[in-house]
Amino acid sequence: MKRSILVICSSAVVIAGGYKIPEQSLEGMALSAARIAHGTGADTAYYNPANMAFLVPQLHFLETDLTFVTLPKIDYDGMQIFPPATIVPADAKSEKEFAVFPTFHYVDRAHGKWRWGVSLTAPVGQTHRWHSPIQGAFAQKFYLMTAELNPSLSYRLSDTLAIAAGLRLVYSEGEVDSDANAIGVPIKRQMKGDTVEAGYNLALAWHPGNGWELGITYRSKIDLAEKGTANLYLGGAGNRYSARVTVPMPAALDIGIAKSFDNWTVELDYERTFWSSYKTLDFRYDTPIPPALVPYFDDPKPKNWRDTNTYRLGITYRYSDRLTLMGGLAYDETPVPAHSLSYELPDADAWIVSAGFRWKQNDHLHWGVALLYDHKKKRTITLQDRNEYGIDGTFKHEQAILVTAGFEYTF
């Protein structure tokens, strides 16, 4: 598969709002990712590795999941503005999309006060296709896949307090195509690329007693130094260039507090993602591109994204010794201001609801299913917003439906 340089710029780095996928396990999906404070299984290696210290010390924990993603069509009702002052109707629908991704988590048995674990996740991903002429001039095809390998090590400071640190190894790939010939502009692009980058994560878990738990995690900023190829066409004649661009995968801070009582556990999480580091998008090529293409594919584009907040609520009910029920609710802010919103990323604030169950098959095997619905609010861009891409209209019906089947095995 191939990763697009433009995908990186517009969506690959969106880990809060946009196309983040924080739900990376069965319980993470069922609880809308409210998993920072309370952890009981292998996915603690991802959500808060400090909680690995509080798992049953003699046991190994192993979880594998498969998630199915459906992205219904996005509606755009409005106009498109072409410089200097041409305004044309641009009503359109994107294509319906499907995707599948696996995840994996493992926590080793305790070695004294130390414990290690590892997760393989897909924290960011998206695909969009616009076959309409105007939208196709900007984003005819848009594909993104990422994979993150996250080994972590925890240390138990006391019976109630533990810390952890880990390494983040991120691989991403994708593709983006655009073609403006259908609207009478003889330009076209095909961009591909990939990268491997590294960062770190830190975590703390405090279990003071009486059913209370506190968790804090920090994921570092990672600069994605994307390299790939760009096929740029002008009037039917094309040339291939080596292209590169560096954009931030911003740092994120998560704080969670949970309370367990009777058969219930309730958790509240707050996430802050530091998007203000993403100010400008600037492509670089190995050789100069034709001057007529510079305004479209080379001039720096202001982004000026803003820091975002996400609020999560997760509720777990242990119905019986075998059956556990779960539900979640979250509100997720978009980092994308109106002036830099584009067809590749028509993002908006979102409400998220989820539910699921876990069944204890025997003393070693648990399995379950979870469903999550992500509904982004209607987003309207007006002339007063001075949108960089000439958008003057409303995006609506942007949604995502995720279904996860998961198995956890202890031994």
3-state SS string over the chain? CCECHHHHHHHHCCCCCCCECCCCCHHHHHCCCCCCCCCCCCCHHHHCHHHHHHCCCCCCEEEEEEEEEEECCCEEEEEEEECCCEEEECCEECCCEEEEEEEEEEECCCECCEEEEEEEECCEEEEEECCCHHHHHHHCEEEEEEEEEEEEEEEECCCCEEEEEEEEEEEEEEEEEEECHHHCCCEEEEEEEEEEEEEEEEEEEEEEECCEEEEEEEECCEEEEEEEEEEEEECCEEEEEEEEEEEEECCEEEEEEEEEECCEEEEEEEEEECHHHCCEECCEECCCCCHHHHHHHCCCEECCCCCEEEEEEEEEEECCCCEEEEEEEEEECCCCCHHHCCCCCCCCCEEEEEEEEEEECCCCEEEEEEEEEEEECCEEECHHHCCCCCEEEEEECCEEEEEEEEEEEEC
- What does the pLDDT average to over 392-410? 95
pLDDT at residue 3 in the model: 31
Q: pLDDT-derived band of residue 47, with 50, 70 and 90 as boundaries?
A: very high
pLDDT at residue 249 in the model: 80
The 10s digit of each residue's pLDDT in 6-35 is: 333 333 333 335 456 788 999 999 999 999
pLDDT at residue 204 in the model: 98
The pTM (predicted TM-score) of the whole model is 0.90
Q: pLDDT-derived band of residue 271, with 50, 70 and 90 as boundaries?
A: very high
Does position 118 have pLDDT exceeding 70, yes or no?
Answer: yes
Does position 268 have pLDDT exceeding 90, yes or no?
Answer: yes
pLDDT at residue 19 in the model: 53
The 10s digit of each residue's pLDDT in 343-354 is: 888 889 999 999
pLDDT at residue 20 in the model: 62
pLDDT at residue 8 in the model: 32
CB-count burial class (<10 Å; 0-12, 13-18, 19+) for 405? middle
User: 90-94, 207-211, 292-296, 402-406 — which is least confidently predicted?
Assistant: 292-296
pLDDT at residue 74 in the model: 93
- What does the pLDDT average to over 160-166? 98
pLDDT at residue 131 in the model: 86
- What does the pLDDT average to over 41-45? 97
Q: pLDDT-derived band of residue 318, with 50, 70 and 90 as boundaries?
A: very high
Instruction: Considering only residues 23 and 56, tell me which one the structure prediction assigns the higher pLDDT.
Output: 56
Instruction: Considering only residues 66 and 15, tell me which one the structure prediction assigns the higher pLDDT.
Output: 66
pLDDT at residue 125 in the model: 64
d(CA 65, CA 311): 24
The 10s digit of each residue's pLDDT in 184-241 is: 888 888 888 888 999 999 999 999 999 999 999 999 998 878 788 888 888 878 888 8
Q: pLDDT-derived band of residue 82, with 50, 70 and 90 as boundaries?
A: confident
Does position 5 have pLDDT exceeding 70, yes or no?
Answer: no
pLDDT at residue 116 in the model: 98
Does position 78 have pLDDT exceeding 90, yes or no?
Answer: yes
pLDDT at residue 376 in the model: 94
On average, the pLDDT of the chain sits at 89
- What does the pLDDT average to over 153-161? 98
Q: pLDDT-derived band of residue 124, with 50, 70 and 90 as boundaries?
A: low
What are the chain's domains?
5-410 (2.40.160.60)
pLDDT at residue 324 in the model: 98
Please give the share of the chain, as a percent, with pLDDT higher than 70: 94
Please give the share of the chain, as a percent, with pLDDT higher than 90: 62
